[in-house]
């Protein structure tokens, strides 16, 4: 069986992004964004004084503190994390790869709050309030999204390919709602009107993936979706699932969630169940109907929920564990949602922006679809000269959440 084809990766690989690159978004994240997230956790949770002090010490480490092993005796991922950290012990937060620094910070935050330790904070999500606001504050948008879904389900006179393209576009822009970038209620979150959405696509492989799914319809028994954010984005993910199942494009969908809280708003299995319950309890008949329908699919095993500690690790896509690879090879398509998953599959490295997908993702033995709003400087598969054009047109285009990609790769 063909697993990961590392021999197809460029040698040498581009350098990983690091916070030590002064003036970069990685540097800003480690010196400004992560400390602010740690302090916001204290504001939104009534933790006991010892926990508050641990979180404050973690925040004070940024950026010049030294990497250390986890001291989290009851945690099921402690041994794996300490293996990942071994080569970086004694380095500071700016010297280590940026993706490692971010995932390590969120994991250290759980260590500080006692997430895996027996006691009052066992399995307590420090971002629960933000996630709840990510539903409540978007109730109107959720109603509108469900109404548009129903229109696409009812409009059978329109080609399925056209309706699928509209669903993929709606799903992509749900990725603008990222609580690690724009906390719930913050006014400056990017939000495109519908007519501007396609104009802000840097890559659009909708036609290719639509043809692929439609041509493989009789074989597309299963699609896998790697989730990103809870809240409105998760609702859009669930609406895409509903469309694919209701139109018989696929028979089974497997959702892949995080096993513990990370990146503030990343979705866990509990977030999926809570979101379905929220939809099913809605007084809006269309929202209610979608929620009940998906709960029935879940009970029937047509919508499945998985989690895996790989998704909260600092490992790149070419270090996918064999059990996940075997799982994905049984799928017609792996949909990768969001910026962090995109960064993971590209190894969070300094790829040239016009690097072909076949070069950056050639190691994958299965079909991959990236639906991603850009919130980091990692990007491939742009037309030559496009990045320079955008640099002149809009400073910060890589990280401001206004530009997105729909990118499809099949080996």
CA distances from 135 to 192, 275, 329, 334, 340 (A): 19, 8, 33, 26, 21
Q: How confident is the model at residue 214, as a pLDDT?
A: 87
Of the pLDDT bands very low, low, confident and very high (cuts 50, 70, 90), residue 174 is confident
Which CATH number is correct for 6-126, 1.20.930, 1.10.3470, 1.10.287, 1.20.144?
Answer: 1.20.930
Percentage above 90 pLDDT, the chain: 88
Q: How confident is the model at residue 215, as a pLDDT?
A: 83
Reduced to 3 states, what is the DSSP secondary structure of residue 223?
strand
Domain ranges of the chain: 6-126, 129-409
Is the separation of the CB atoms in 367 and 410 below 8 Å?
yes
Mean pLDDT along residues 37-54: 97
Please give the mean pLDDT across all residues of the chain: 93
CA distances from 304 to 135, 142, 234, 259 (A): 22, 22, 15, 15
Is the separation of the CB atoms in 379 and 353 below 8 Å?
yes
Is the separation of the CB atoms in 256 and 306 below 8 Å?
yes
Tokens 């690159």 sit on residue: 21
Residue 224 or 220, more confident: 224
Q: How confident is the model at residue 71, as a pLDDT?
A: 96
Other residues' Cβ atoms within 10 Å of the Cβ of residue 141: 15
**Residue 102 pLDDT > 50, yes or no?**
yes
- What pTM, to 2 d.p., does this model score? 0.94
Predicted confidence (pLDDT) per residue in 237-271, tens digit? 999 999 999 999 999 999 999 999 999 999 999 99
303-307 and 252-257 beta bridge pairing: parallel
Tokens of 107: 């994991």
Cis check for the bond before 63: say yes or no (omega within 30 of 0): yes
Predicted confidence (pLDDT) per residue in 121-168, tens digit? 999 999 999 999 889 889 999 999 999 999 999 999 999 999 999 999
Tokens 């109603």 sit on residue: 143
Q: How confident is the model at residue 410, as a pLDDT?
A: 96
Of the pLDDT bands very low, low, confident and very high (cuts 50, 70, 90), residue 3 is confident
Which CATH number is correct for 129-409, 3.40.50.10880, 3.40.50.1820, 2.40.50.140, 3.50.50.60?
Answer: 3.40.50.10880
**Residue 399 pLDDT > 50, yes or no?**
yes
Of the pLDDT bands very low, low, confident and very high (cuts 50, 70, 90), residue 182 is very low
**Residue 189 pLDDT > 60, yes or no?**
no
* Out of 6-20, 173-187, 303-317, least confident range: 173-187
Percentage above 70 pLDDT, the chain: 93
Q: How confident is the model at residue 401, as a pLDDT?
A: 92
């Amino acid at each position: 069986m063909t697993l990961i084809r590392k021999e197809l990766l460029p040698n040498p690989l581009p350098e990983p992004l690091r916070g030590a690159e002064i003036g970069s978004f990685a540097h800003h994240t480690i010196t400004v964004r992560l400390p602010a997230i740690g302090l916001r956790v204290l504001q939104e949770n009534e933790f006991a004084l010892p926990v508050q002090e641990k979180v404050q010490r973690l925040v004070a480490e940024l950026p010049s503190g030294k990497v250390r092993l986890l001291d989290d005796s009851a945690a099921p991922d402690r041994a794996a994390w300490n293996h990942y950290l071994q080569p970086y012990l004694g380095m500071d937060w700016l010297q280590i790869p940026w993706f490692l620094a971010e995932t390590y910070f969120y994991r250290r935050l759980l260590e500080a709050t006692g997430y895996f330790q027996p006691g009052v904070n066992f399995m307590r999500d420090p971002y629960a309030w933000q996630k709840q606001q990510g539903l409540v504050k978007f109730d109107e948008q959720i109603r509108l999204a469900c109404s548009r879904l129903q229109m696409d389900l009812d409009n059978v006179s329109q080609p399925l390919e056209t309706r699928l393209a509209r669903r993929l576009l709606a799903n992509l822009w749900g990725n603008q709602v990222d609580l690690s970038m724009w906390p719930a209620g913050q006014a400056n979150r990017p939000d495109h009107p519908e007519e501007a959405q396609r104009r802000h696509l840097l890559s659009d492989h909708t036609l290719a993936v639509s043809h692929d799914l439609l041509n493989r319809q009789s074989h597309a028994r299963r699609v896998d979706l790697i989730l990103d954010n809870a809240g409105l984005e998760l609702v859009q993910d669930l609406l895409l699932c509903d469309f694919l199942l209701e139109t018989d494009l696929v028979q089974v969908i497997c959702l892949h969630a995080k096993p513990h809280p990370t990146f503030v708003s990343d979705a866990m299995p509990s977030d999926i169940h809570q979101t379905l319950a929220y939809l099913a309890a809605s007084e809006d008949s269309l929202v209610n109907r979608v929620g009940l329908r998906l709960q029935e699919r879940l009970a029937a095993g047509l919508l499945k929920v998985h989690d895996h500690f790989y998704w909260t690790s600092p490992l790149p896509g070419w270090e996918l564990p064999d059990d996940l690879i075997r799982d994905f090879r049984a799928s017609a398509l792996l949909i990768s949602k969001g910026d962090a998953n995109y960064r993971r599959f590209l190894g969070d490295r300094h790829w040239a922006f016009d690097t072909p997908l076949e070069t950056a993702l050639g190691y994958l033995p299965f079909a991959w679809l990236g639906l991603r709003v850009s919130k980091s400087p990692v990007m491939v598969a742009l037309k030559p000269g496009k990045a320079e054009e955008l640099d002149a047109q809009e400073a910060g285009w890589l990280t401001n959440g206004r530009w997105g990609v729909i990118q499809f790769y099949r080996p």
